[in-house]
Amino acid sequence: MAQMTLVQAITSTLAHEMERDSRVVCLGEDVGLNGGVFRVTDGLQKRFGKDRVIDTPLSESGIMGASIGLAIAGMRPIPEIQFEGFLGPAYDQLVNHAARFRNRTRGTVTVPMTVRVPVGGGIHAPEFHSDSPEAIYTHNPGLKVVMPGTPTDAKGLLLSAIRDPDPVVFFEPKRVYRSFREEVPDEEYTIPIGKAKVVSEGTDVTVISWGASVFQCLAAMDELPEDVSAELIDLRTIHPMDSEAVVASVEKTGRAVVVQEAPRLCSVASEVAALIQERCFLRLHAPVQRVTGFDTIMPYAKLENDYLPDAKRVGEAIRQVLAY
Amino acid sequence: MPIRTVYQATIEHTQILDERGVLDPALSKPGTPGILTDEQVLHLYERMLEARAVDERAFVLQRSNRMYTYPQNKGQEAAALGSGFAMRRGTDWIVPCYRENAAMVMHGMPWHHIYLHWMGDERGNVVPPGVRVMPIAVPIGTQMLHATGIAWAAKLRREDAVVITYFGDGATSEGDFHEALNFAATFGVPAIFFCQNNQWAISVPRETQTASETIAQKGLGYGAACQQVDGNDLFAVHKAVYDARERARAGGGVTIIEAMTYRLGDHTTADDARRYRDQAEVEAWQARDPILRTRVYLESKGLWDAQRQRAGEERAKAFATEVVRAAEGIAPPKPEEMFDHLYAEMPPELRLQRDTKRTSSLGQDPSQAGLRSEPQRA
Ligand SMILES: Cc1ncc(C[n+]2csc(CCOP(=O)(O)OP(=O)(O)O)c2C)c(N)n1
Ligand SMILES: [Mg+2]
């Protein structure tokens, strides 16, 4: 066991898989010599060479589209898009091509690739460096969408993603990159895509979240009265969602608060709320609450903290569903 | 003839003021259109000193947590100012990315707006009335298409306006660059594509970015006029943009100019260039610092000396202090502001979010939260 940050867990897992599977290549802007702007691929080019850890031209469409080709031809590409805000130029390749090949060729052309993307706010980064677009890639069929919130989950999910026969968007919450360390098991293990995690068990209310917001939920739960027993679920995988875990929990608690950084409109939180409404209708004691970013553009750094859901807003929503 | 040449081209590199600060006599003959006068060079030199001082101060601000990530412009002042000076303020358009602050300011964007932008405040993007400067563009390459559209509008409306758009060497790898240039050339719009080739795109050197020998030649494929200039040569930069602007106004269409310059600083304050580039390379370019070169020229003409330099640097420092004061003197934005400018007319749900600062229905309507109801069973 080693103490690792999220960054270190991802780096070492990439190295592990590159060692094991010669088809795996990492490519993207500044991922080679510089080790990526967050240093997630630090040292990998030195270890595996320039043919496997590749600095590309500055072109997200190029990175994504060429990775599709690599994958189709039998490689296991791991393209990195430097920040989620720059998925824009890659959108067409990702959504209209990577996501569709299997279906439109009736399973004969497939795209096993893992798109790594730092995601989310809270680090006072410039414009287009702080968004949470997971709903966009969930809404569009054909992609799997993962967002681990801890080093341990990142390792197991990344291995599953790389070995998955389909394209996986692997969102890495940058606010968590170096926010804490934890023991990560040395041995190889996978965490199945599509399995949520019960972070803490409870009986009165279910709090559902993913990515960096999980930590705001934990902070909010710390402030709850002693006699309130809240259950926290970290979805970890956004799509395919672990509906059973959500339903089982809300069946038990009868109350749900869904927390995300992304704007509310047509979001993953909306989907979770709809799921609960459909599956747990008779068990609900209160309307499902969504604590989310606002339906406006992620503000620049000065107002960032006014935008992101914090422990206060989460705690208030929990108390309100309990009092309803 | 079964085989004949159907196309041939050359790309010229122009330098007028050489590294030793000496003007090429043939290229700078008095009366040549677009050659800067002594008075103009003095004026621009003072702007260079200001630009450098404001830029260095931004770095200091960032290091003392008074600014967030900032991309230094250091070393690219001749490219920004020489090009900006060839454009007509209030008529022509400046469509920047983020490494030509001085050009934006020359055309009316206040310096402290640029500070505000990197201090994490959208009000840094406010364009003062009558100013034709677009805000800083962070997503690489996107602004070039906007420039093409703006120039197209000028053409369609028969306005005597020319648009200059700025971008880096790395940006030429984005599809947007090619689409913008193709549109611009195909529709013959009055646009100038000004590439600040500072040799690096974060950690990726120019040679890794593209197999093309020059950036300028990329314009050939689209039918643009192409030129490479010494980007640290105020005279050559100004002359090239001057000529490109005249060409555009005369209906001659698009020009791409590749200004060979160098990013003397890190990519941004979040970067550490020592990880990927040689200090020797940086030092070689420090010797070609555009401010130094312009100064040597002015001194050789008896227009500048050590004493004036000291005074000029003092003025520039005081100037930077004023910029800091202006930026920091602005009260923090109110949270409401993140909602107020999304649409001309605010949708009702957004107003609710603005007024309650909540997205949860109970948070938005406390009267509901007061309700206590027993769960209804079917
Ligand atoms: C679409 C997009 N992709 C990636 C980035 C991250 N990024 C910011 S600057 C930069 C390099 C830009 O290089 P260049 O165009 O040469 O301009 P320079 O910074 O050297 O002035 C990158 C990759 C971005 N801002 N936008
Ligand atoms: Mg560059």
| Residue bearing the CA closest to ligand 1, atom 12 | B201
Q: What is the CATH number of the domain that holds A48?
A: 3.40.50.970
Beta strands B225-230 and A2-4, pairing class: unpaired
Q: Do B121 and A128 touch (CB under 8 A)?
A: no
| A132: phi then psi, degrees, rounded to nearest 5 | -130, 80
Catalytic residue among A129, A139, A239, A285: A129
Question: According to the model, what pLDDT value does residue B366 have?
Answer: 72
Question: According to the model, what pLDDT value does residue B368 have?
Answer: 73
Considering the domain architecture, whether residues A154 and A235 belong to the same structural domain is answered as no
Considering the domain architecture, whether residues A171 and A216 belong to the same structural domain is answered as no
Considering the domain architecture, whether residues A126 and A211 belong to the same structural domain is answered as no
Distance CA(B80)–CA(B99), nearest Å, equals 8
Closest atom of ligand 1 to B140 CA is 26
Instruction: Report DSSP state, residue A42.
Output: T
Q: Which residues of A touch B199 (CB under 8 A)?
A: none
| B294: phi then psi, degrees, rounded to nearest 5 | -65, -40
- Ligand 1 center to residue B204 CA distance, Å? 10
Q: What is the ipTM of this complex?
A: 0.96
Considering the domain architecture, whether residues A82 and A36 belong to the same structural domain is answered as yes
Query: Which value, in Å, is the radius of gyration of the alpha carbons in chain B?
Result: 24
Reported in sequence order, the residue ranges of A12-57 that DSSP labels E, i.e. its strands, are 24-28, 53-55
- Kindly report, residue by residue over A64-94, the tens digit of the pLDDT: 999 999 999 999 999 999 999 999 999 999 9
Considering the domain architecture, whether residues A179 and A256 belong to the same structural domain is answered as no
Considering the domain architecture, whether residues A26 and A139 belong to the same structural domain is answered as yes
- Kindly report, residue by residue over A240-297, the tens digit of the pLDDT: 999 999 999 999 999 999 999 999 999 999 999 999 999 999 999 999 999 999 999 9
Cis peptide before B129 (omega within 30 of 0): no
Range of the domain at A217: 197-323
Other Cβ atoms closer than 10 A to B32: 12
Question: According to the model, what pLDDT value does residue A19 have?
Answer: 98
- Ligand 1 center to residue B171 CA distance, Å? 7
C-beta of residue A38 within 8 angstroms of C-beta of residue A174: yes
Which residue from A minimizes the CA distance to B172? A58
Q: What is the CATH number of the domain that holds A288?
A: 3.40.50.920
Q: State the smallest CA–CA distance between residue B275 and chain A in angstroms.
A: 6
Which residue from A minimizes the CA distance to B340? A296
Question: According to the model, what pLDDT value does residue B75 have?
Answer: 98
Nearest to A134 by CA among A21, A35, A271, A313: A271
For residue A263, tell me if it sits in a domain: yes
| A223: phi then psi, degrees, rounded to nearest 5 | -90, -5
Give ligand 1 pocket residues (Cβ under 6 A).
A 29, 58, 60, 82, 86, 89; B 99, 138-140, 168-171, 196, 198, 200-202, 263, 267
DSSP code per residue over B289-351: -HHHHHHHHHHHTTS--HHHHHHHHHHHHHHHHHHHHHHHTSPPPPTTHHHHTSSSS--HHHH
Give the residue carrying structure tokens 């991922």: A31
Distance CA(B50)–CA(B48), nearest Å, equals 5
Domains of chain B in sequence order: 13-328 (3.40.50.970), 335-369 (no CATH)
- Ligand 1 center to residue B202 CA distance, Å? 7
Question: How many CB pairs (< 8 A) connect A and B?
Answer: 155
C-beta of residue B66 within 8 angstroms of C-beta of residue B328: yes
Question: According to the model, what pLDDT value does residue B372 have?
Answer: 53
- In the predicted structure, residue B162 carries a pLDDT above the cut 50: yes
Considering the domain architecture, whether residues A74 and A176 belong to the same structural domain is answered as yes
Mutation pick from A42, A53, A127 vs chain B, by most beta carbons of B within 10 Å, is A127
Q: Do A89 and B175 touch (CB under 8 A)?
A: yes
Distance CA(B333)–CA(A303), nearest Å, equals 7
Nearest to B259 by CA among B282, B241, B283: B241
Q: What is the mean pLDDT of chain B?
A: 96
Closest atom of ligand 1 to A128 CA is 25
- In the predicted structure, residue B17 carries a pLDDT above the cut 70: yes
Question: According to the model, what pLDDT value does residue B30 have?
Answer: 85
- Ligand 1 center to residue A115 CA distance, Å? 19
| Residue bearing the CA closest to ligand 1, atom 21 | B168
For residue A190, tell me if it sits in a domain: no
| A275: phi then psi, degrees, rounded to nearest 5 | -60, -45
Q: Do B335 and A35 touch (CB under 8 A)?
A: no
Which residue from A minimizes the CA distance to B377? A282
For chain B, what is the largest distance between any 2 Cα atoms, rounded to a whole number of angstroms? Answer: 96
Q: Do A321 and B362 touch (CB under 8 A)?
A: yes
Q: Which residues of A touch B121 (CB under 8 A)?
A: 300, 302
Q: What is the mean pLDDT of residues A145-164?
A: 98
For residue A191, tell me if it sits in a domain: no
Q: Is the C-alpha dihedral spanning A53, A55, A56, A61 positive or negative?
A: positive
Coil, helix or strand at residue B242: helix
Mind telling me the catalytic residues of B?
263, 267, 276
- In the predicted structure, residue B370 carries a pLDDT above the cut 70: no
Question: According to the model, what pLDDT value does residue B154 have?
Answer: 98
DSSP code per residue over B93-152: EEE--SS-HHHHHHTT--HHHHHHHHTT-GGGGPPPTT--BPPP--STTHHHHHHHHHHH
Considering the domain architecture, whether residues A158 and A127 belong to the same structural domain is answered as yes
Q: What is the mean pLDDT of residues B145-153?
A: 98
- Kindly report, residue by residue over A234-256, the tens digit of the pLDDT: 999 999 999 999 999 999 999 99
Mutation pick from B212, B342, B359, B368 vs chain A, by most beta carbons of A within 10 Å, is B359
Give the residue carrying structure tokens 């393209």: A79
Domain boundary among A157, A184, A211: A184
| B93: phi then psi, degrees, rounded to nearest 5 | -115, 140
Please classify residue A19 by burial: count the beta carbons closer than 10 Å to its beta carbon, then call 0-12 exposed, 13-18 middle and 19+ buried: exposed
Ligand located closest to B79 CA: 1
Number of structural domains, chain A? 2
Distance CA(B150)–CA(B153), nearest Å, equals 5
Considering the domain architecture, whether residues A223 and A269 belong to the same structural domain is answered as yes
Closest atom of ligand 1 to B268 CA is 19
C-beta of residue A214 within 8 angstroms of C-beta of residue A232: yes
Query: Counting runs of H as helices and runs of E as strands, what totals does chain A give?
Result: 12, 14
For residue A115, tell me if it sits in a domain: yes
| B69: phi then psi, degrees, rounded to nearest 5 | -45, 130
Q: Do A57 and B170 touch (CB under 8 A)?
A: yes
Distance CA(B175)–CA(B173), nearest Å, equals 6
Return residues 158-197 of B near A (CB < 8 Å). Answer: 170-171, 173-176
Q: Do A282 and B378 touch (CB under 8 A)?
A: yes
Return residues 81-110 of B near A (CB < 8 Å). Answer: none
Distance CA(B360)–CA(B378), nearest Å, equals 26
Q: Do B275 and A126 touch (CB under 8 A)?
A: no
Query: Which value, in Å, is the radius of gyration of the alpha carbons in chain A?
Result: 19
Name the pLDDT band for B376 (thresholds 50, 70, 90): very low
Name the pLDDT band for B374 (thresholds 50, 70, 90): very low
Query: What pTM, to 2 d.p., does this model score?
Result: 0.97
Name the pLDDT band for B281 (thresholds 50, 70, 90): very high
Backbone torsion region of residue B233, taken as left when φ is above 0, otherwise alpha when ψ lies between -120 and 50, otherwise beta: beta
| Residue bearing the CA closest to ligand 1, atom 7 | B140
Which residue from A minimizes the CA distance to B365? A320
Coil, helix or strand at residue B59: helix
**How is residue A211 written in tokens?**
């990515």
**How is residue B232 written in tokens?**
């640290």
Name the pLDDT band for B367 (thresholds 50, 70, 90): confident
Coil, helix or strand at residue B357: coil
b (16+ CB within 10 A) / e for A43-72:
ebbeebeeebbbbbbbbbbbbbbbbbebbb
Q: State the smallest CA–CA distance between residue B191 and chain A in angstroms.
A: 23
Q: What is the mean pLDDT of chain A?
A: 98
Q: Which residues of B touch A127 (CB under 8 A)?
A: 138
- In the predicted structure, residue A1 carries a pLDDT above the cut 90: no
For residue A68, tell me if it sits in a domain: yes
Closest atom of ligand 1 to A30 CA is 23
Separation of first and last alpha carbons in chain A: 45
Q: What percentage of chain B carries pLDDT values higher than 90?
A: 96
- In the predicted structure, residue B218 carries a pLDDT above the cut 80: yes
Ligand located closest to B260 CA: 2
For residue A143, tell me if it sits in a domain: yes
C-beta of residue A302 within 8 angstroms of C-beta of residue B333: yes
Considering the domain architecture, whether residues A66 and A176 belong to the same structural domain is answered as yes
Distance CA(A5)–CA(A53), nearest Å, equals 22
Please, which residues have CB within 8 angstroms of residue A44's CB and are 6 or more apart in sequence?
Answer: A11, A14, A15, A18, A26, A31, A35, A52, A53
The answer to whether B134 faces chain A, any CB pair under 8 Å, is no
Other Cβ atoms closer than 10 A to A73: 9
Considering the domain architecture, whether residues A213 and A267 belong to the same structural domain is answered as yes
Considering the domain architecture, whether residues A134 and A283 belong to the same structural domain is answered as no
The answer to whether B69 faces chain A, any CB pair under 8 Å, is yes
Give the residue carrying structure tokens 């394209």: A167
Closest atom of ligand 1 to B71 CA is 19
Mutate to test the pocket of ligand 1, among B99, B118, B138, B202 (most ligand atoms within 8 A of CB): B202
- Kindly report, residue by residue over B21-56, the tens digit of the pLDDT: 999 999 999 889 999 999 999 999 999 999 999 999
- In the predicted structure, residue B296 carries a pLDDT above the cut 70: yes
